[in-house]
A = this chain, B = another copy of it.
Amino acid sequence: MIIVVKKEARENQIDILTRWLEGQGIRVGRTEGNNQAILGLVGNTKSIDEEFISQFEIVESVRRVSEKFKRANRKFHPEDAVIDCNGVKIGGGHFAIIAGPCSVESEAQINEVAKAVQASGATLLRGGAFKPRTSPYDFQGMKGQGLELLEIAKAATGMPLVTEIMNADHLPLFENVDVLQIGARNMQNFELLKAVGRTNKVVLLKRGLANTLNELLMSAEYIMSEGNPNVIFCERGIRTFETYTRNTLDLSAVTALKEMSHLPVVVDPSHATGKANMVEPMAMAAAAAGADGLMIEVHNDPAHALCDGPQSLTPAQFDRVVKRVMAIREAVKATE
């Protein structure tokens, strides 16, 4: 249920209504529209009488929502969200390039890569410390130590950090991380979604291997319904019958998500294709399709990377990708 509050309403009047609703066991989220507040009611709203609510002097309109999701829904938030990642903005025309190695491997490695990608135009640094791996016998990341090395690279470059969290109990370790990544395998780990929803950190939510766009939107809703509005979607390829590429990049998801939601969408061509030579054309295609950013794996020595070497770019290759992507962005904007 959505309550649109009149422009002239005073804060204490809104408070009274909010507290009354909460007394009915309803959670109330508040969004600022064009100079007026919009209250989104979450919970069993069946018991709330629309006519009764309409009687409140400050209420402009009430409507029951047949939409399955609310906070992530563009219908209730027509303007693009602009997500601030500790100074770097994504969405609403702000294009972000997230780059770095699949895994943090050493201080020298992460520093070298961070400086190289920053020089080429990356604005956020990625690097895996906790790594989800199909096999328990594969390298699982440097964990806490990896986070410390990321912080050193952040201090050296000033780039905000993006890294994956797999366990809510690890949250205290992520204090200096700017963007919490939820990996594809955890897209429907609802307990983890709720936990990051109770923080105020930006969450980069990757689409699951075989999850529909509707399910992705609902997972964003899990995070947002806990109070955290800072969600960024990431399309990273879906699982299909085709085996030539690691996954099948679904670029129509960019258009679809931006139609249904006001949240930004970034594209990860590295995991989507699993092949370094496909990163450039798919990054360019993502920019042409209207993505709000890219996430690209870069390694100073792909042949010896501890994970995902075959899909990592060298810094030189990455530099070329950024230039070409920026040219595409210009063409997109020039013809809007």
Contact = CB atoms under 8 A, between A and B. Distances in A.
Contact of A243 (B212, B278, B285, B335): B212
Contacts of A324: 331-332, 335
A150 interface: no
A255 interface: yes
B288 A281 contact: yes
A238 B244 contact: no
A282 interface: yes
Interface size class of A (residues with CB under 8 A): 35 or more
Interface stretch (A106-114, A185-193, A295-303): A185-193
Contacts of A239: 210, 241
Nearest to A278: B255
A132 B256 CA distance: 25
Nearest to A221: B136
Given A189-B189, A218-B135, A285-B288, A248 B240 contact: yes
Given A189-B186, A249-B250, A324-B335, A285 B289 contact: yes
Contact of A282 (B212, B251, B272, B327): B251
A318 interface: no
Given A241-B241, A250-B248, A132 B190 contact: yes
Interface in A258-317: 259, 272-273, 277-278, 281-282, 284-290
A248 B225 CA distance: 30
Contacts of A168: 169
Contact of A240 (B238, B282, B284): B238
A251 B249 contact: yes
A335 B240 CA distance: 32
A50 B222 CA distance: 51
Given A248-B248, A281-B254, A328 B259 contact: no
Given A68-B137, A281-B289, 10 more contacts: A68-B135, A134-B214, A166-B189, A166-B190, A186-B189, A238-B240, A242-B250, A249-B250, A252-B281, A330-B331
26 contacts: A69-B135, A132-B190, A134-B218, A135-B221, A136-B194, A136-B225, A137-B221, A185-B188, A186-B189, A189-B192, A210-B210, A212-B241, A212-B243, A214-B244, A238-B241, A238-B248, A239-B241, A240-B250, A243-B243, A251-B281, A252-B278, A255-B281, A284-B288, A285-B286, A285-B288, A331-B331
Interface of A: 42-43, 68-69, 132-137, 166-169, 185-186, 188-192, 194, 208-215, 218, 221-222, 225, 238-245, 248-252, 254-256, 259, 272-273, 277-278, 281-282, 284-290, 323-324, 327-328, 330-332, 334-335
